[in-house]
Copies of this chain bind each other. A is one copy, B any other.
Amino acid sequence: MEQFLEKAKNASRIVATMSGSERNRILREMAKALRSNTARIVEANTIDMRKADEENLVSSLKERLLLDEKRIDAMAVAIEEIAALKDPVGRVIDGWVTEAGLKIEKVSIPIGVIGIIYESRPNVTSDTAALCFKSSNGCVLKGGKEAEASNIIIAEVLQSVLLQNNLPKELIALLPDSTREGVSKLIKMDKYVDLIVPRGGEGLIRYVSQNASVPVVKHDKGLCHTYIDKDADIENAIAIAINAKVQRPGVCNAMETLLVDEAIATEILPILKSAFDHEHTQLKGCAVTQKFIDVAPATPEDYDTEYLANILNIRVVTGVDGAIQHIVEHSSGHSEAIITENITTAERFMDAIDSACVYVNASTRFTDGAAFGFGAEVGISTNKLHARGPMGVEGLTTYKFKIYGKGQIR
């Protein structure tokens, strides 16, 4: 493992000095190579799909695992879009002249070697490999067991393009030991690996955060809230609440708890109830909510549960400060929204909540790299440092100071 990671580290030094246009040309070749190898990729995917049948995987997982010509073309298009993004490396982020007359430039540079741990969908393999290559980083990928054959062939196709361009294939590497033990080793290798991005279940993320000596950017759970203030536009409030919960309940930026200002509860709760009933949402409510509408009781644990399903807690709170207090106690720091027409209330909420994304009058479902205009997304970070919220290709860079002198000494 150590030798393998040393190779990856050395490979990352080579890509670090390549020009953006070279990297983009190679990315476009990778897209082409995926298309021209469609048959081989589909064949390998058949092996994974057969195994999934044998092991009786649930149909939603199988659906995510499947690769066909259309999906492989979409993977190629994604790489072409990444090639078209502005170069994230070499941006001058800041610059000034010091008292001693030194010219300082703060410039974005690649991070080095990035280890990414993810599950099921094999398109993540080509997406993340392309994002890392775009940002001049090497990557070590650890995909899910269920997609093993697909991941291997996708990596092989991308590596063949590297080799054709006289680049080491270790720039896009699959972790050789993909057991839990292999992961344990990887996250301790701070000599060779500069960042670990775990995407997956809570157990995995907790394990990695607790045991890694390599810095970690987590993609942890999203326990998102929407607060409907007494000064809300009712129509907006209903539309946003429904959208935040039901448009795609299984994702991290979906709402889990709806907070309602007590001053508007009588008026809005019955409307909300009938709107959510129409969407077959299973509602749970606090004691006050239950006075106004007929819903199951919400337990204290419910407020800390990421349902990832069409289930919603409703809690009546005392104004914006009551909402803030609930969110501070229960939020995972992902995304929260306030619905209000009152600018003072809105700013009070936006300032007091320190989640990665704080919305006024919009659905939390917009917390997403594409919706933010980042073009492509490494994931949605729940870290407080380095990268927060939707993490685009800039999240795969760090910086250094370039200092230009004329013989200055101290």
Contact B372–A400 (Cβ < 8 Å): no
Query: A408 CB to closest chain B CB, in angstroms?
Result: 4
Query: A88 CB to closest chain B CB, in angstroms?
Result: 14
A interface residues, how many (CB within 8 angstroms)? 67
A405 within 8 A of B: yes
Chain A, residues 238-257, CB within 8 Å of chain B (1/0): the string is: 01101110010000000000
Contact A407–B360 (Cβ < 8 Å): no
In the complex, which of the residues A16, A235, A239, A372 has the most CB atoms of chain B within 10 Å of its own CB atom? Answer: A372
A31 within 8 A of B: no
In the complex, which of the residues A215, A365, A401 has the most CB atoms of chain B within 10 Å of its own CB atom? Answer: A401
Contact A366–B102 (Cβ < 8 Å): yes
Q: How far is the CA of A365 from the CA of B239 in the complex (A)?
A: 59
Q: How many copies does the complex hold?
A: 2
List residues of A whose CB falls within 8 A of some B CB.
13, 16-17, 96, 98-100, 102, 104, 109-112, 190, 194-195, 209-210, 213, 215, 233, 235-236, 239-240, 242-244, 247, 328, 350-352, 354-363, 365-366, 371-373, 383-386, 388-389, 398-410
Contact B247–A400 (Cβ < 8 Å): no
Instruction: Given A328-B13, A407-B362, decide whether A402 and B350 contact each other with a Cβ distance below 8 A.
Output: yes
Q: How far is the CA of A233 from the CA of B407 in the complex (A)?
A: 9
Q: How far is the CA of A235 from the CA of B240 in the complex (A)?
A: 69
Q: How far is the CA of A112 from the CA of B333 in the complex (A)?
A: 13
Residues of B within 8 A of A194 (CB): 384-385
